[in-house]
Amino acid sequence: MATTREVKLTGLAPEILLTVLEFCPDVASLKNVAHAHPTLYNLFHAYQNHLATQVLRNELSDEVYTHARVSFLAGQLILKRFGSLSSNDIDEGVRNIINLKSNASFRNISMASAISISRLHRKVVELADVCVRDCPETLEQSFTPFQNSLTTRRPSRSERIRIQQAIYVFEILRNLCKELYVKSDMPPTYYADTYLLLGEVHLALMEYSLAPWEMYQVIAVQAFFRRALFGLDRDEYRNERVIPGFLSYGIRFLHKAIFLSRGAQNNWTRKRLKPLDEYKPFWAGDEFGIQMWKKIESEQLTLYNYNVQSDGMFDQDLVQLEGRLDLWSAALWDVDRWDDIVPTIRHPEPKLWADIKHHCSPVDMTFHLARNPDIVWMRQENAVG
């Protein structure tokens, strides 16, 4: 009769043990397994760069792997302080970041870097989960039709992935805004220059890297961050130094650049739509996102029935329309949820919007210009195309 011999896991050949470590689902599990026995730890220590690279690939889904990679590597680039950037600097910075998408990888990444990437990914997933749960709500209001939609039909995997991707893009944008601080004692020209620079960033991103549906998605995410922290009616001059982590640089100024730079002639939102194959998306696999973007674009034309060429007031109304975060936030969701979303964005506005201010009000802008006469560019430029 044949006898069997008990073999301990740590008694297996190193090649087999290495394969076991390679199959760990995430970096945290790899660390735990490696510290379970000296044999495993020695193998982990000898091959830690290889293992970090492989296990990180296990942890990150295909849809966010590139986003996480570019986000990490972009943080290592040496970029100029935001206030000293020229248009050429912005173009170069955006191109350098986008080149990381095709020219760089996680090969031979250090374990410390893998831990950092893994921790950021967990934060991204947690923020996406919060967005899914709380996006129909602000501090005091809720968007009932959409809230019912998320209750009766749980968010799909593609919707969760889309939100994660948008959060990563927001983090990538942050790398272009180094040392961008909010100070109450700065002259009006400082803020005007800042808005213009951020407008240049948007144009460069749309030229080299992002498709319009992806820009709508990141706008929707930053809008959620803003209203989750402050609601829709907060004082624009309130100090924001209490915002933790990577949010501290971007929310206020990114939001103002998106909504106050709409009068600039070359803003990306005023460009005529191009054929799909002429856009350069960061990630090309979001068919549902593209379909939802088409819905958004067609809906924007029906909310205000104006002729761009003949109506001199169209610019003012377009600014108000572009302040409709409820419409642009539709970009985060699958197209089959459109019928649940559209009741909240039909014009005239539903009752739930009665006491909510638009982030960008033409009337408020008039008073802003009156208080800050040096911001001449906002007064002089008109919308085109």
The reported pLDDT for the residue numbered 268 is 52
Backbone angles phi, psi at 43, to 5 degrees: -65, -40
The half-sphere exposure of 85 on its side-chain side, counting CA atoms within 13 A, is: 29
Instruction: Categorize the per-residue pLDDT at 163 as very low, low, confident or very high, splitting at 50, 70 and 90.
Output: very high
Mean pLDDT of the chain: 69
Residue 303 CA to residue 220 CA, distance in Å, equals: 19
Instruction: Categorize the per-residue pLDDT at 385 as very low, low, confident or very high, splitting at 50, 70 and 90.
Output: very low
- In this structure, of 50-59, 167-176, 306-315, 319-328, the range with the lowest mean pLDDT score is 306-315
Average pLDDT over residues 187-210: 76
- In this structure, of 57-61, 113-117, 221-225, 358-362, the range with the lowest mean pLDDT score is 358-362
Max mean pLDDT range (5-14, 24-33, 170-179, 295-304): 24-33
pLDDT at 220 over 50: yes
The reported pLDDT for the residue numbered 257 is 44
Domain spans of the chain?
A: 60-380
The reported pLDDT for the residue numbered 313 is 38
Residue 374 CA to residue 361 CA, distance in Å, equals: 20
Instruction: Categorize the per-residue pLDDT at 143 as very low, low, confident or very high, splitting at 50, 70 and 90.
Output: low
What is the DSSP code (8-state) at residue 230?
H
Q: What would the two tokens of residue 223 be?
A: 């809008």
pTM, 2 dp = 0.72
Check residues 111 and 258 and name the one with the higher pLDDT. 111
The reported pLDDT for the residue numbered 222 is 75
Strands (E), the chain: none
- Per residue in 261-281, pLDDT (tens digit) is 334 444 455 556 677 777 777
Residue 169 CA to residue 161 CA, distance in Å, equals: 12
Instruction: Say whether 137 sits in a helix, a strand or coil.
Output: strand
Residue 63 CA to residue 67 CA, distance in Å, equals: 8
The half-sphere exposure of 149 on its side-chain side, counting CA atoms within 13 A, is: 24
Q: What would the two tokens of residue 137 be?
A: 């709500």
The reported pLDDT for the residue numbered 269 is 54
The reported pLDDT for the residue numbered 233 is 46
The reported pLDDT for the residue numbered 58 is 93
Report the DSSP beta bridge partners of residue 142. 137
Q: Which residues are CB-neighbours of 125 under 8 A, at least 6 positions away? A: 164
- Residue 342 exposed, middle or buried by CB count within 10 Å (0-12, 13-18, 19+): middle
Residue 345 CA to residue 48 CA, distance in Å, equals: 52
What is the DSSP code (8-state) at residue 304?
S
**pLDDT cut 90: percent of the chain above it:** 10
Report the DSSP beta bridge partners of residue 234. none
Q: What would the two tokens of residue 138 be?
A: 């602000």
- Per residue in 29-59, pLDDT (tens digit) is 999 988 888 888 899 899 989 999 999 999 9
Instruction: Say whether 142 sits in a helix, a strand or coil.
Output: strand
**Residue 318 in contact with residue 384, Cβ under 8 Å?**
no
The reported pLDDT for the residue numbered 23 is 92
Cα dihedral 214/143/126/331 (nearest 10) = -10
Residue written as token pair 């889904």? 61
pLDDT at 248 over 90: no
Average pLDDT over residues 150-175: 87
The reported pLDDT for the residue numbered 323 is 46
